[in-house]
Amino acid sequence: MEYVEAVLELVGLIPPGSAVSYGDVAELLGSGGPRQVGSVMSRHGSSVAWWRVLRASGAAPDGHEADALRHYLSEGTALRGNPEEYLRNGESSWRVDLRVARWQPSDADFDRIEALAEGLATASAKMSEANDGMTQ
């Protein structure tokens, strides 16, 4: 449960108009990988601003392109391609311009993130410690 909470809280720190990739989240947390983060978002993302976490390519999560786009437009998130035409006939493609929209955590954010990462680290340390005890 720890990992899930850490991911959700981290996502909660991302301000409107910016975004990060699944891989970024894993890296900031110093634990797991893009797939783990994706898994968490898939199951618990509905309670947070899930559209602010997307693929490294800037493409919105599979099957949620339309919903995500609405948020990007209302938040003024930097986009590339033709979202307008996509809305009109669904034929054009678009991406979030991560080069511009990528979240730059503030010092305070980094402190919070560090705390989350630390929590995960000690949690996993306790687990392996417990396992060691089991095998002794």
Partner DNA sequence: ATTCTGACTTGCT
Partner DNA sequence: AAGCAAGCCAGAA
Q: Which residues bind DNA (CB under 7 A)?
A: 3, 21-23, 31-39, 41-42, 45-46, 50-51, 53, 55-57, 61-64, 93
Rg (CA), the chain: 17
Nearer Cβ to DNA, position 111 or 127? 127
Decide: 31 and 120 in contact? Cβ < 8 Å: yes
Nearer Cβ to DNA, position 51 or 72? 51
Nearer Cβ to DNA, position 107 or 136? 136
- The CB-of-106 to DNA minimum distance in angstroms stands at 22
- The CB-of-26 to DNA minimum distance in angstroms stands at 8
- The CB-of-91 to DNA minimum distance in angstroms stands at 10
Nearer Cβ to DNA, position 29 or 113? 29
Torsion region of 82: left, alpha or beta (phi above 0 gives left; psi -120 to 50 gives alpha): beta
Torsion region of 29: left, alpha or beta (phi above 0 gives left; psi -120 to 50 gives alpha): alpha
Picking from 73, 15, 96, 82, the residue whose alpha carbon sits closest to that of residue 49 is 15
